[in-house]
């Protein structure tokens, strides 16, 4: 299926709030996927047979991705640009605990992956002991280049 991504503002009391993030601006933002109309997919149905026109938050997004073989996701460039190209505001890449409920290895291939902790297209989201996710600060994320973030040439 084809989806477009967005980040939505959530209140501090919302369970899906990204309030555990490392960047001050990240607090209160939650990642979403929206099914593209006419994408010709399977109706966006997940394992339980529920239609997923909108998938919200780390856990729901991961559950949905885990139920698919392949998914195309259009990024939200204006949001990333408006947040000074900080990695957390770009395309999330989830790193999950071994032996946990998720068994996929997420990889982002992009031409805007840089060895700069404050400028990059991919934000590494790591799973905490309580099952919540947070974005790694830039210096820590650089250590995952080549495993979860792979720079590729620009396609013209």
- Quick check: 47 pLDDT over 50? no
Lowest mean pLDDT among 38-52, 89-103, 134-148: 38-52
Give the span between the Cα atoms of 28 and 47, in whole angstroms: 29
- Quick check: 69 pLDDT over 90? no
The whole-model pTM stands at: 0.76
């Amino acid at each position: 299926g084809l989806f477009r991504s967005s980040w939505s503002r959530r209140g501090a009391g919302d369970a899906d709030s990204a309030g555990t993030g490392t960047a001050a601006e990240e607090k209160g933002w939650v990642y979403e996927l929206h099914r593209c109309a006419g994408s010709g997919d399977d109706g966006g149905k997940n394992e339980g047979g529920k239609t997923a026109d909108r998938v919200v938050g780390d856990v729901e997004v991961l559950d949905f991705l885990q139920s698919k073989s392949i998914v195309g996701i259009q990024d939200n460039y204006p949001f990333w640009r408006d947040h000074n190209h900080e990695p957390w505001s770009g395309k999330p890449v989830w790193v999950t605990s071994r032996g946990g409920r998720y068994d996929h290895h997420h990889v982002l291939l992009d031409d805007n992956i840089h060895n700069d902790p404050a400028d990059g297209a991919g934000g590494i989201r790591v799973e905490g002991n309580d099952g919540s996710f947070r974005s790694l600060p830039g210096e820590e994320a650089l250590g995952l280049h080549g495993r979860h973030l792979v720079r590729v040439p620009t396609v013209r």
